[in-house]
Chains A and B, each alone.
Chain A
């Protein structure tokens, strides 16, 4: 099998520095579910030491969250995210792909279906083609959290939000069809010709990798650059205490993590969680494909959130939103998950009664 770009695979010097950064290694303490171990499996595939249908090889391609935390600590600059895409391109052909991922991919594959997803929800929308920057509505966010795009438009009325814009293709890229993922991003780039602003860190990273970083702004970046004022920083009484859940691809792929913190400091007292930068277990389709592992990753984080004594945990990605919202509800926690855009737009959802 030669589905790997040799330069990507050869970059790894097997130093193991990535082990302590990996959430799945933290769960198992097993080399085979570490980044270095997975790269070794890829090499074994590449060299024919292991067959493509080896059960553990399949398992690890799925067990990996794709969070790319391993990239940030790698001294040799291994682009693990790219390797994982190439790996899943090979493993997740046809029926090899998890069923849930397959269904979701079909769902968002055509623009009209994406539009349908949001049809009954009151997400933001504007008529006519965009002139200046536009707001990406996302495929699932428009259905699950339409209030986020509304908040974003309230903050930045200049953003056009045409409903017929389709999906960025990140879903495809991370689920074994990177070629289609690229094409979808290119297509979206044509439909939204100027700067694309997105409330999803994951989409921002994928779009940037295809369209270039200049074309794409994640919301906190956009807000930061515009110096968007929040509440009155002088008024400390009654300021909410807010923690943040980084979006993995935003932080690890685009190195954007200062901006959301800076913005949160304008609207409340920012509280850094020890694990703010590590994956919450949402990881794209992961929470649906592997609910058990996803919860194992989440659980320690929920403990932390509750111990931190915060009012909100802010998110910058719809997957994390769903993951934390559900997790906190399950625990009957009083802490609310809320998107950064909502907080910046002045919304202060009430703490849930216990």
Chain B
């Protein structure tokens, strides 16, 4: 993958800058080189483009005024939360304004009575979950990046997480939105109701729209009663195929666990090398299973899952005795990516999805493809929902390796689609996956998506060069 940089990012003209300053205040408009350089990228490696200006609005009205101005002048606007996305969704490939929503950082309401929260977009996912927990409530979506990712960003990418199978993903929790369209119009979709079918479901359409349809300025989210307890167990298998069979048996037994995460042997090796958690390195795969709910029920389900793993040929199975041990098990999963990143200087984390029964088959293909392209790819992911993260580590400046990785991932995406899967399970399309989107959706749907985009954003200013373009 060659480094994507563009020569745009010319500072905006003086008159535009002046008007922007009048809208949000002078200190919230930045355009000098040093000020905007860090906004040339997000958490995605290899993509970089300098914005013309960075603007930090503090209210819906300011967002609307910025969009009206940008629409009239045809200036691209890239909404940005924490910039933790992994698909170069916030890289301003066509220059223009990076519109940062982090100053909109208030939780407006937590209602235990109505089981909902109302929040501004710049609040982090973890802060919202903590606020809910203080009321004995659960905000279920828990992306690995929850401590940094913003509510706006997680809604705009429809973020998943470690408990997708049981709890679903962000879209299952968005009840209503306030958003500013590319025209500067402010709309409020959905609301505080679980049942509401008045009109098209624009809430769902905006969820996962990656900043290409509107700027989200307020979110109403569904909460659940917090589960009494959570527990985890761990099983080693001779091969990933065995682990895959165990997952199938667990679900066939009527258990829908909160956690079913797997690591392939390369991941286990890397984790052990870096974190020394005492994991076995002689197995072909590691499966972490877990559930939450009433203590007795959790214990029973954990035992049952352990039994099913043993029956499917697990080499070793253990169930955590208490909460701290349980957390320690998850640590293995949480530190997989950083552990892998230590193998080189650039870490390309991908995000394909396949139907659950085909996980082992897919991982087999990934190994095969990596071998043919002479790159090292380690795979971990969410066994419960078929979402895999093949991860390739290369060295900075090794353009040949980058190109080989690029080709390998192209094949991996196509293989996933052939197996009935997708090019991205939770990280999004951004600019990184755009080249594969037509293959995934077909020409007719791409056309329709463009027409939808044009209806929300007739001037085409919102996050150009990404999904919908």
A interface, CB within 8 angstroms of B: 10-11, 13-17, 19-20, 29-32, 34, 36-37, 40-41, 44, 49-50, 54-57, 59-60, 73, 75-77
Contacts and interface: CB of A to CB of B under 8 A. Distances in A.
Most-contacted residue by chain A among B45, B103, B105, B345 (CB, 10 A): B345
B43 A14 contact: yes
10 contacts: A11-B342, A13-B45, A13-B337, A13-B341, A15-B43, A19-B82, A30-B56, A75-B334, A75-B338, A76-B342
B17 interface: no
Given A13-B43, A16-B145, A54 B56 contact: no
Closest CB pairs A-B (n = 5): A56-B34, A75-B338, A37-B38, A10-B345, A29-B102
A314 to B, nearest CB: 27
A17 B100 contact: no
A17 B40 CA distance: 18
Contacts of B34: 32, 41, 50, 54-57, 59-60
Given A10-B345, A15-B148, A57-B34, A31 B338 contact: no
B33 interface: yes
Interface string B29-43: 010111111111111
B261 to A, nearest CB: 16
Contact of A40 (B33, B38, B334): B38
Nearest to A59: B34
B172 interface: no
A149 B444 CA distance: 78
Most-contacted residue by chain A among B40, B122, B148 (CB, 10 A): B148
A41 B45 CA distance: 16
A37 B100 CA distance: 14
A13 B345 CA distance: 8
Contact of B122 (A10, A29, A32, A55): A29
Interface string B155-183: 00000000000000000000000000000
Contacts of A10: 345, 396
B16 interface: no
Contacts of A20: 124, 126, 147-148
B347 interface: yes
Most-contacted residue by chain B among A11, A14, A31, A50 (CB, 10 A): A31
A5 to B, nearest CB: 13
Contacts of A41: 34, 37-38
A13 B41 contact: no
B42 A76 contact: no
B417 interface: no
A11 B45 CA distance: 13
B31 to A, nearest CB: 11
Nearest to A36: B38
Interface of B: 30, 32-43, 45, 54, 56, 82-84, 100, 102-103, 105, 122, 124, 126, 145, 147-148, 334-335, 337-338, 341-342, 345, 347, 396
Contacts of A40: 37-38, 40-41
Most-contacted residue by chain A among B147, B337, B342 (CB, 10 A): B147
Contacts of B42: 14, 16
B41 A14 contact: yes
Given A29-B56, A29-B103, A29-B105, A54 B33 contact: yes
Contacts of B341: 13, 76
A75 B147 contact: no
A16 B37 contact: no
Contacts of A30: 30, 54, 56, 100, 102
Contact of A56 (B35, B84, B335): B35
Given A41-B34, A55-B34, A31 B148 contact: no
Contacts of A77: 338, 342
Contacts of B45: 13-14
Nearest to B42: A14
Given A29-B102, A77-B338, A15 B38 contact: no
Contacts of B37: 32, 40-41, 44, 49-50
Contacts of A16: 42-43, 82-84, 145, 148
Nearest to A78: B338
A17 B145 contact: yes
A204 to B, nearest CB: 26
A76 B33 CA distance: 28
Contacts of B35: 32, 56
Given A32-B35, A40-B38, A57-B34, 6 more contacts: A30-B56, A30-B102, A31-B83, A50-B33, A56-B35, A75-B334
Nearest to A19: B148
A37 B37 CA distance: 8
A191 to B, nearest CB: 38
A84 to B, nearest CB: 16
A122 to B, nearest CB: 48
A37 B42 CA distance: 10
B39 A15 contact: no
A288 B45 CA distance: 39
A235 B41 CA distance: 58
A332 B32 CA distance: 42
Contacts of B82: 16, 19
A16 B143 CA distance: 14
A152 B245 CA distance: 64
A76 B339 CA distance: 7
Most-contacted residue by chain B among A19, A37, A59 (CB, 10 A): A19
Contacts of A76: 338, 341-342
Most-contacted residue by chain B among A16, A19, A32 (CB, 10 A): A16
Contacts of B38: 31-32, 34, 36-37, 40-41
